Amino acid sequence: MKILRNIVLLSGGLIVFIAGCILYGIILNIREIPLSEAMAALKIDTLKNVSLQVSLSKYRLYLYSDTILVKKYRFSAGRDNYKKKEARDKGTPTGNYQICRIDSVHNFHRHFKINYPNLKDIDEAFLEKSISSAEYEKLRKEILAGDCPSFSNVLGGDIGIHGIGKLNFVFKNLPFIFNWTNGSIALSDEDIDELLPVVKNGTQIIIKK
């Protein structure tokens, strides 16, 4: 009976702790202002030359209109938060990229696919003899044509900015960063919905450490 009581107390304490964390996260999120209010505060009617900058060390995505910082968003990244080198390393790539496809319906709510690997990525991989000349030529042709590059067996792919999906309420309200993606940038469903009307194919994304 004592063991059972300890298990119940431990389970109850864990539930209270998790609930407390989520409640604290909800309070923090309430303080976030919508994009429309951020624009109004800056006296901006329309976003122009939209671009995104990602800081992996600060876990923040910055939305710019020309050179004006309009709003910043919190995100989660790859499970192993370092520069992506190969297909299954769960790292997040760093460099200059573009959105090459927008999926408004996705397992993770919405998905803005980026053109990873890009020319710089495949050039470096080819010089390091990580990819074959055949794969190099195939990826190079796709990139120069403006297409989303195919998944590389060596370098990976299908990287982008997406929502959370089914566990959105829990993950978005965690007061700490929990990295869980395949290397992509995960925003809350509400934040990805806010960005959906303002980004497009070709939108520039700079990902930095």
From first to last of its 209 residues, the chain has per-residue pLDDT tens of: 656 555 554 555 555 555 555 554 565 556 689 999 999 999 999 999 999 999 999 999 999 999 999 999 999 998 765 678 788 888 999 999 999 999 999 999 999 999 999 999 999 999 999 899 999 999 999 999 989 999 988 999 889 999 999 999 888 888 778 899 989 999 999 999 999 999 999 999 999 98
* Alpha carbons 35 and 74: distance in angstroms, whole number: 14
Which H helix or E strand runs over 63? strand 60-65
Query: Under CATH, what is the fold of the domain 2-208?
Result: L,D-transpeptidase catalytic domain-like (2.40.440)
* Alpha carbons 110 and 190: distance in angstroms, whole number: 10
Burial letters for 151-190: b for 16+ Cβ neighbours within 10 Å, e otherwise?
A: ebeebbbbbbbbbbeeebeebbbbeeeebebbbbbbbbbb
- Please tell me the pTM assigned to this model: 0.84
